[in-house]
Amino acid sequence: MKKKKKGFFYQAWRYKALIFMALPGMIWFIFFFYIPVLTNVVAFKNFHYSPNGFLDSLITSPWVGFDNFKFLFASSDAWLITRNTILYNVVFLAFNLFFAISFAIVMSELRNKKTVKVYHTLTLLPYFLSWAVIDYFVYAFLSPSKGIVNSWITDGGGTAINWFADPRWWPFIFVFLNVWKGLGYNSIIYYASVMGIDPTYYEAAMVDGANKWQQIKNVTIPQIIPMMTVLLILNIGGIFRADFGLFYIIPRNSGALYQVTSVLDTYIYNGLTTTGDIGMTAAAALYQSVVGATLLLIANFVVRRIEPDSALF
């Protein structure tokens, strides 16, 4: 006789401990992700507030189709914000990958574990600082009147630079701040991957006469490529999302810097605060999410075709 299959409730009761552990995360996703996703319909409506609340506003607002998207792409800023968002994120990906892996490898070579903990702690601290706090430090260095950098320049006989009115320097400042803030956090996973490599590989390489650089090139890097690939795919999915605090708070929303500080996130915020056009800003945010998800799927497809074991799904 075939054994009778156990029902759903039996299986749920059997794994109740795991279900209760996952329950907070499930509730968070339902209320703060899946339910808000339904409100993306605002991007296709001429949204107007109703005194009867948001739900009534959503229902009674007239349907305009893709007019909000047409307005977004017809704007003179559409190319600028898209270009800035993509280029900054590509540069951030490249620099963060290089410095995170380099730092992880250097830390793995240190034999004093207390020193490693100190270095990791020091590099991880900036990650937990908000951009509002970092802004005070940046302004202390770049203040046009009494900034530390301008003091060094004028003491050497040079002319002070008005940093918040000169856009030439800000791409370099953004790259430096992004790498500095995320170095410790980004290197943790790579450090764990490097430390998890079987020591016998290095022993075999040393027997073959490989020096330290050759060991890194032929043993360390190939062993962490799967982890690099997975993280790269995830980061590509966010390539249309910019760090709002970095691009809005640090340059203090200076109008003179808009050519180099305008990205999709700041554009959405400025559009919402200045025009109050919720439909247009919702269209920009939806465009951002759809393109990001599409890029993630494409990147995962390419990786799966080349190296199936390194793909996400």
Annotated domain spans of the chain: 1-70, 75-310
Averaged pLDDT, 275-302: 85
- What is the CATH T-level fold of the domain 75-310, as seen in this structure? MetI-like fold (1.10.3720)
Higher-scoring residue by pLDDT: 277, 215 = 215
| Residue in this structure with the two tokens 């410095």, named with its chain if needed | 99
| Token pair for 293 | 């998800």
Nearest to 97 by CA among 198, 189, 217: 189
Helix axes 78-109, 170-195, angle to 10 degrees: 40
Comparing CA positions, the residue from 158, 138, 135 lying closest to residue 148 is 138
- pLDDT at residue 251, as a whole number: 92
How many H helices and E strands in the chain?
A: 17, 0
Cα 262 to Cα 84: distance, rounded to the nearest angstrom = 7
pLDDT confidence band for 178 (50 / 70 / 90): very high
What is the pLDDT at residue 226?
86
Complete DSSP assignment for 64-104 = -TTHHHHHHHHSTTHHHHHHHHHHHHHHHHHHHHHHHHHHH
- pLDDT for the residue 5: 55
Residue 177 has pLDDT above 90, yes or no: yes
Average pLDDT over residues 149-165: 88
Across the chain, mean pLDDT equals 86
Whether 4 has a pLDDT exceeding 70, the answer reads no
- The residues near 277 (Cβ < 8 Å, ≥ 6 apart) are 271
Give the span between the Cα atoms of 288 and 241, in whole angstroms.
7
Residue from 36, 253, 35 nearest 131 by CA: 253
What is the average pLDDT across 129-144?
92
pLDDT digits (tens, 9 = 90+) for 45-80: 888 877 777 777 778 888 888 888 887 777 777 888
**Among the residues of 110-169, which ranges form H helices?**
113-124, 131-142, 148-155
Q: Please state the φ and ψ torsions of residue 166, each to the nearest 5 degrees.
A: -115, 105
Q: How far apart are CA 229 and CA 221, in angstroms?
A: 12
Q: For residue 33, what pLDDT is reported?
A: 81
pLDDT of residue 6: 63
Mean pLDDT over 220-227 rounds to 88
Section 187-201 average pLDDT: 89
Tell me if residue 52 falls in helix, strand or coil: coil
